[in-house]
Amino acid sequence: MDINKIIIEIKKRYSYIGSNPIYVGMSGGVDSSVTAVLLKFAKFNVRGLYMLCWNDNTPECTTDLDLRDAESIALTYNIPFQVIDLRKEYIQKVIEMSRKSYEGGITPNPDITCNDVIKFGILYDKLKGALIEDFYLATGHYAIVRHQSGIGLFTLHAGFDDTKDQSYFLYRILNKYDRLNRIIFPIGEYPKTLIRDIAKKINLKVASKPDSQGICFIGNVSLDKFLDKKDENNRGEIINLSGDVIGAHKGCEYYTIGQRKKLDISTYCEKPMYVINKNIKTNTIVVGTKEDAYMTEFQVKNLILSEIDSKALKNKIRVRVRNLGKKISCEIFFSESDFKKNKINSLNIRLKYPEFGVAIGQHAVFYKNDRVVGGGVISKVNTSYKKHFSF
């Protein structure tokens, strides 16, 4: 490991920034801390900020510790530091929207919403409104923004480290092209192990701090506690593919497609049972074997697509339906006339081979090689069990 070489690479890669300020979202974790310090070592005009999004004084909430760590590192390296209070926006735009989604029977992704609406939405707008100078926004995400000099476009790519790639969580910044050229992910070009080694070599106090888990900014809180429902009268039936009642559940919102644990099944089943469908209207959960939880066809809406043509959408595109999930080759179906009119509202996807637990409300992200070309919210799933049973 040659830190000086990495610093030179970063300085060269972002030479176009010059003396303009780079605001680094410092979460108090190792990734964002190393990001800020490397940029500082590369002689950029670094300014740290902490996004205060949640603080409920529960054991799962690490806000106070994270803020202290971020502030301490900024002080150590002489980085100007500020706290931006986004709690009101975070509760309204992320927490409440996620709760409504769960209660509506779908499985949301709060991290994607947070990146889209809070970090690269409201935060960016606040900085833009408060500054008269050009600025850049950096985070410790494992993803890459590249400038395609031949066509003058900025594109989003998967991070170098396949085990830590976070491009899935970031695809919706493609909808913010006016700011994509001012977003940088300096450590996306490197493996996580190297970032840890750098932190240890420079004696960063958070070098061995565990990666954050659970919901963005909240921590590793259970779904039960997150929903915090007081109504205990939402129990319903669990049925099998034959329509037989084989157990009970405490509410559809507490379960997701592909889930095996916490199913109160009272009837003996030869094989483990998994959630394969939910019906909020009848408050019923359908379970089947693991094989029944695999899907090959689904629909995607609320689309974000990059500057690509219809031919590219049909040529060697792979799709990922969960963070760090397999990128599966697929066929994409849509109306050519709608595409030409820029009015595509949905895409129908057929996977080359089945994927486990595709859930409505989750996101499907499309890749061409390592480049993110778009994505959207899964709105309908054609499940294999429907040939046996339907509501």
Concatenating the DSSP letter of every residue in 119-188 gives: IIIIHHHHHHHH-SS--EEE---SEEEEEETTTTEEEEEE-S-TTT--HHHHGGGGG-HHHHTTEE-GGG
The closest alpha carbon to 114, from 150, 81, 86, belongs to 86
Active-site positions read: 114, 216
Q: What is the distance between the alpha carbons of residues 379 and 159, in angstroms, rounded to a whole number?
A: 27
Nearest Cα neighbor of 387 from 300, 298, 295 is 295
Beta strands 284-288 and 236-239, pairing class: parallel
β-pairing verdict for 143-148 and 136-138: unpaired
Asked if 10 and 39 touch (Cβ cutoff 8 Å), the reply is yes
Residue in the block written with tokens 């697929």: 330
Within 10 A of 358 (CB to CB), how many other CB atoms are there?
25
Q: What is the DSSP letter of 341?
A: T
CB contact at 8 A, 322 and 362: yes
Residue type, 352: K
